């Protein structure tokens, strides 16, 4: 958790005027209730929440644009809000102002089955979308764990377990509708699969965390549900051997859909939480998508690679119930980590490095954690070189928080020294804003120039990504 270097209250007259105007527009859909404000000032991370002055529950793009126009006139800050599942303080209203909650904009607008794309409002969650698609034979693969809103996933450039095959939100957003800082509404692209017609505005807004505009519509790529799916699980003597298996798998061209790693600490936590008896060793989960023959062949290839790298018994199945059983342990990692210290909080952090450095990065991190006063299990989307640490903290103890800060700083420094990034998928928010100069150097001036040119009064989610 970074310190909040930048926190200030909104100007009282501007705030009162803006709230009055928005109330005229939205009636009871503008809330200043303390419980509502509190809930909207935080995410799922252990970062200090900061409530907005009011929460506007908009139902249309026009309403979102009208709210932005009012805020722009009064130079009041705006924080867009989906499901509140972000992990780096993205939704903390550091300058106060109005939270624009888009959860009521939750319609699937248009499924284009032939084109494998879909147009949704930003409050639609990924599970809601997949439920909606159930009878079409199509699915949306990006799975960050939480049942996040698709607008929020676009805003944070979310990814997750399927990214090694299907990419992240970066690759899967075809187009966005965005309300800019002056209340004007743009569309960043068209439904064509590719285009060379000008600057890539879609990619500029994907990952911009509400600092350049409010996302009011998302067009996404879809995929055919694979004919067959198989899942495998395998334990290794060392992290290096597990990671070498991953590298060889990807190099061999096996189109693996997921490759997930948990370290021994995490496996121990899973055993305790789920009353299992899994090997307390670095473990890979793998998932293969394709035809029946293809998934069998993929599993065989990886089994051979795994055996070459000291992998143990290779537990694999195509049976849906068995697949679910194998994945359950992976899905439970957060609960399992939390159960290690009842009453404690999880501070989740992530980094991403070139895969050739992944084993070193994890092993050095584990060494750094050996003397920590709290547990910190590791899981990773290792096909991408991305891994997560969960500090299981007693937040009542300032010394634990300070220690977690030091460990996090060293984790990021280690990843950066290996040509990696300070966050592979959680994003910047205000929790990682202090690392960006170190990561990007002079390129931060370009980010600052973009921010300033599109949001000259710094009203769009101020204090996130770039300080101006």
Ranges within 245-284 binding its own copies (CB under 8 A) = 247, 250-253, 255
- Residue 21 found at the interface with its own copies (CB under 8 A): no
Minimum gap (Å) between residue 361 Cβ and its own copies:
11
Give the residue with the Cβ less far from its own copies, 211 or 266: 211
Min CB(350)–its own copies separation in Å: 9
- Cα angle vertex 220, ends 78, 349, to 5°? 60
Q: What is the 3-state secondary structure (H, E, C) of 35-52?
A: HHHHHHCCCCCCCCCCCC
Judged by CB under 8 A, the stretch of 50-58, 68-76, 223-231, 392-400 that binds its own copies is 223-231
Backbone angles phi, psi at 368, to 5 degrees: -65, -30
Please give the structure tokens belonging to residue 169: 């939100």
**Of 227 and 319, which has the nearer Cβ to its own copies?**
227
Q: How far apart are CA 424 and CA 106, in angstroms?
A: 27
Residue ranges in 353-382 that form contacts with its own copies under rule CB under 8 A: 353-356
How many angstroms separate the first and last alpha carbons of the chain?
21
Closest Cα to residue 260, out of 321, 313, 331? 331
Question: Do 315 and 234 meet the contact criterion of CB atoms below 8 Å apart?
Answer: yes
Q: Does residue 135 belong to the site contacting its own copies (CB under 8 A)?
A: no
Q: Binding to its own copies (CB under 8 A): which residues in 392-421?
A: 415-416, 419-421
Q: Which region, judged by CB under 8 A, interacts with its own copies, from 100-108, 123-131, 312-320, 426-434?
A: 426-434
Among 21, 63, 101, 384, binds its own copies (CB under 8 A): 384
Length of the chain: 468
- Which CB atom, from 12 or from 255, has the smaller least distance to its own copies? 255
What does DSSP say about strands 378-381 and 345-352: parallel, antiparallel, or unpaired? unpaired
Q: Which is nearer to its own copies, 3 or 251 (by Cβ)?
A: 251
Interacting residue with its own copies among 184, 373, 396, 409 (CB under 8 A) = 184
State which of positions 142-181 bind its own copies (CB under 8 A): 156-159, 163, 167-168, 170-171, 180
Which 302-331 residues touch its own copies, going by CB under 8 A?
A: none
Coil vs helix vs strand at 225: coil
Q: Which of 217, 263, 400, 425 binds its own copies (CB under 8 A)?
A: 425
Q: Is 108 in the site for its own copies (CB under 8 A)?
A: no
Half-sphere exposure of 111 (CA within 13 A, CB side): 17
203 sits near its own copies (criterion: CB under 8 A): yes
- Examine residue 426 and tell whether it contacts its own copies (CB under 8 A): yes
Kindly state the tokens that stand for 354.
């070139």
Q: Which is nearer to its own copies, 191 or 331 (CB)?
A: 191
Residue (of 133, 155, 131) closest to 144 by Cα position: 155
CA distance 13 to 433: 30
């Amino acid at each position: 958790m970074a310190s909040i270097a930048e926190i200030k209250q909104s100007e009282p007259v501007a705030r009162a005027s803006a709230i009055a105007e928005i109330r005229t527009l939205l009636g009871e859909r503008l809330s200043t209730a303390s419980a509502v404000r509190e809930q909207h000032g935080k995410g799922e991370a252990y970062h200090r929440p900061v409530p907005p002055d009011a929460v506007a529950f908009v139902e249309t793009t026009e309403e979102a644009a009208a709210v932005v126009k009012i805020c722009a006139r009064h130079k009041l800050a705006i924080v867009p809000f989906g499901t509140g599942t972000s992990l780096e303080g993205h939704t903390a209203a550091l300058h106060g102002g109005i939270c624009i909650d888009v959860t009521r904009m939750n319609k699937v607008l248009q499924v284009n089955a032939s084109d494998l794309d879909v147009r949704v409002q930003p409050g639609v969650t990924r599970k809601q979308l997949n439920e909606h698609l159930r009878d079409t034979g199509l699915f949306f693969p990006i799975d960050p764990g939480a049942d996040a809103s698709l607008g929020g996933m676009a805003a944070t450039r979310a990814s997750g377990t399927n990214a090694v095959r299907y990419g992240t939100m970066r690759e899967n957003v075809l187009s966005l509708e965005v309300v800019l800082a002056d209340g004007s509404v743009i569309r960043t692209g068209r439904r064509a699969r590719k285009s060379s017609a000008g600057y890539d505005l879609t990619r500029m807004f994907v990952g911009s965390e509400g600092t350049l505009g409010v996302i009011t519509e998302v067009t996404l790529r879809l995929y055919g549900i694979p004919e067959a799916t198989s899942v495998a699980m395998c334990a290794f003597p060392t992290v290096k051997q597990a990671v070498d298996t991953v590298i060889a798998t990807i190099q061999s061209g096996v189109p693996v859909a997921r490759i997930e790693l948990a370290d021994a600490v995490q496996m121990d936590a899973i055993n305790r939480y789920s009353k299992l008896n899994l090997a307390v060793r670095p473990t890979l989960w793998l998932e293969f998508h394709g035809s029946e023959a293809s998934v069998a062949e993929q599993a065989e290839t990886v089994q051979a690679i795994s055996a070459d790298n000291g992998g143990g018994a290779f537990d694999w199945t195509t049976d849906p119930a068995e697949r679910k059983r194998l994945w359950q342990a992976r899905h439970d990692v957060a609960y399992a980590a939390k159960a290690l210290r009842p009453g404690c909080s999880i501070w989740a952090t992530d980094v991403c490095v070139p895969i050739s450095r992944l084993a070193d990065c994890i092993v050095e991190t584990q060494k750094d954690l050996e003397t920590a006063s709290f547990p910190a299990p590791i899981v990773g989307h290792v096909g991408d070189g991305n891994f997560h640490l969960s500090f299981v903290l007693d937040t009542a103890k300032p010394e634990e928080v300070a220690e977690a800060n030091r460990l996090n700083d060293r984790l990021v420094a280690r990843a950066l020294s290996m040509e990696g990034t300070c966050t592979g998928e959680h994003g910047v928010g205000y929790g990682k804003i202090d690392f960006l100069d170190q990561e990007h150097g002079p390129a931060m001036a370009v980010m600052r120039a973009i921010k300033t040119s599109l949001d000259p009064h710094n009203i769009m989610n101020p204090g996130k990504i770039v300080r101006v």
